[in-house]
Structure 1
Amino acid sequence: MIIPALDLIDGKIIRLQQGDYRSSYEYGDNILAHLQTYEKQGAKMLHLVDLDAAKEPDKRQTKLIKYLVNSTNIPIQIGGGIRNYNDIITILDTGVKRVVIGSMAIKNSRLVKEWLKMFHPDTIVLAIDIRISGNNEKIVAINGWQEITYFTLEQIIQEFLDFGLKYVLCTDISRDGMLSGPNIDLYKEIVKRYSSIIFQASGGISSLQDIQELRCSGVQEVIIGRALLENKFTLAEAIKCWQNV
């Protein structure tokens, strides 16, 4: 399915360029209007990122999230600054359906494995952000993409496969927020290798052609942010394109 995305800072819609807080675009503060438009156009899931919480978990926009959940009939998944069990419970208590776990999968894999056991597989999405090296190594980046690790995408997926991992949101950092097209070869490769995982593609989508190619790559869910905000196409057009491939 096609999942529209909004990144939020201080109650405003923001898009970062390659995760850089110093390089951002602002799209106003009428978040609910965007969600309602997406709902009318056929969205079946919404993706939100709390960028305040990503920097400082104590600044999580909990009231805003709860308001948005209660104001729409569409399930919401949300990421940003999820560090512990209480963060997950706080978010789920707002009515959010899925929580997106990022850096903690590297920093404390044991804890994340416990979460995968505690919660239903439909509740946890593992976000793996990568930089691809010259020899096609998919190196994982954490902490808002500022820190490059020694782990590869394949190593992380393999580590969590036996613990109920179902959803993986995979982003090629070089494409995110750039409207330069998604990394189709990446998704073809990992979908073929890990057939039990539902992959969410994210980063670089700028045209309906991109959506057609992603559909053919085998990914089951596609997250689109900036292209919708900048009216490259409508969500309704994207959904129709996805369904007609």
Structure 2
Amino acid sequence: MILFPAIDLKDGKCVRLEQGNFNKLEVYNESPVDVAIEFERSGSKVIHIVDLDGARTGERKNASIVQEIIENTNLDVHLGGGIRTFESISFWLELGIKRVILGTIAIENIKLVESAVSRYGDRIIVGVDAKNSLVAINGWEQSTNQNSYEFCKLLEQIGVKTIVYTDISKDGMLSGPNFEAYKRLCNETSLNIIASGGVSSIKDLLSLKLLNLYGAISGKALYEKRFSLEEANQCLQDESYLA
């Protein structure tokens, strides 16, 4: 299982939200580029970036910072937040993003997602953000009536290979992931599942690995030094930790 350290961008800074609430925002570092470089030094080969400004407005106001991260590291960058047009998908991929994560647009225009998958294949990931098993959109600020599990099955049908599934109630709370949700997704789909929200310990990561998930995202736990990237990667690579 791959561990994706996370950077959430807001007004050019590295921040974390609590349960997706923009009023509960904490700035962890003024320089997201420095954070990315440190993640790479600690052994990461990938990084998960969310453009929170983009998620709310659809604008690319943090594009220059993302570009700096690409130019100053060798990390494979996964980026989500405000990517809602085919032009925007192409812009980010041509900039050097390894894989883009589509969120709101997947609910609003599933045909666009299907076209993007047809053209870009597994470089397209869909982020499914769930609150009480219903999909939320527009930076988690608006709920829909779409059941999150049924939506994941639909995504698989149109050719999506990988999803980031976030339980919003767990995000930023350091209370542990929604393991039951990931068990259900594993049982009901063949998707590559990246778990997001609530990872607070090495034990959480190992429990997710036992579910045979593709990956897990961690942000707040890393920033608050609940565990280190070096320690986490070592545990995930060493099968003896699962004994």
TM-score bucket (shorter structure): over 0.9
In 2: Cα distance, 1:162 partner to 1:131 partner = 23
Superposed, 1:151-230 pairs within 5 Å as 151-195=146-190, 197-230=191-224
> Partner of 1:5: helix, strand, or coil?
strand
Question: Does residue 115 of structure 1 match 2:109?
Answer: no
Q: Offset at 1:59?
A: 4.0
Gaps of 5+ in 2: none
Q: Which amino acid aligns with 2:88?
A: D
Q: Which position in structure 1 is the counterpart of 2:27?
A: 26
> Partner of 2:29: helix, strand, or coil?
coil
In 2: Cα distance, 1:56 partner to 1:189 partner = 32
Q: Is the 8 A contact 2:32 2:65 kept in 1?
A: no
Distance 1:151 1:50, change over 3 A: same
Aligned Cα RMSD in Å? 1.3
Q: Is the 8 A contact 1:188 1:218 kept in 2?
A: no
Q: Provide Cα deviations, 1:61-111, integer angstroms capped at 9, x if missing partner.
A: 111111110110111000110110111111112211000000111111122
Q: Is the 8 A contact 2:29 2:35 kept in 1?
A: no
Q: Which amino acid aligns with 2:5?
A: P
The ranges of structure 1 where at least 4 consecutive aligned residues each deviate by more than 3 angstroms after the TM superposition are none
Q: Offset at 1:238?
A: 0.9
Sequence identity percentage: 36
Q: Is the 8 A contact 2:81 2:139 kept in 1?
A: no
Q: Offset at 1:14?
A: 0.8
In 2: Cα distance, 1:209 partner to 1:202 partner = 15
Q: Which position in structure 2 is the counterpart of 1:135?
A: none
Q: Which amino acid aligns with 1:157?
A: C
Q: Offset at 1:192?
A: 2.1
Q: Which amino acid aligns with 2:212?
A: G
Q: Offset at 1:146?
A: 2.1
Q: Provide Cα deviations, 1:178-200, integer angstroms capped at 9, x if missing partner.
A: 011111121112112212x1100
Q: Offset at 1:57?
A: 2.3
Question: Does residue 93 of structure 1 match 2:94?
Answer: yes
Q: Which position in structure 1 is the counterpart of 2:66?
A: 65
Gaps of 5+ in 1: 133-137
Q: Offset at 1:229?
A: 0.8
Q: Is the 8 A contact 2:45 2:74 kept in 1?
A: no
In 2: Cα distance, 1:199 partner to 1:124 partner = 13
Tell me how many residue pairs correspond in the alignment: 238
Q: Which position in structure 1 is the counterpart of 2:76?
A: 75
Q: Provide Cα deviations, 1:104-141, integer angstroms capped at 9, x if missing partner.
A: 111111221111112122x1110001123xxxxx2111
> Partner of 2:121: helix, strand, or coil?
coil
Q: Which position in structure 2 is the counterpart of 1:150?
A: 145
TM-score between the two structures when normalised by the length of structure 2: 0.94
Q: Which amino acid aligns with 1:53?
A: G
Shifted more, 40-49 versus 222-231: the winner is 40-49
In 2: Cα distance, 1:141 partner to 1:81 partner = 14
In 2: Cα distance, 1:44 partner to 1:58 partner = 27
In 1: Cα distance, 2:237 partner to 2:188 partner = 24
Q: Is the 8 A contact 1:128 1:170 kept in 2?
A: yes
Q: Is the 8 A contact 1:187 1:218 kept in 2?
A: no
In 2: Cα distance, 1:56 partner to 1:212 partner = 36
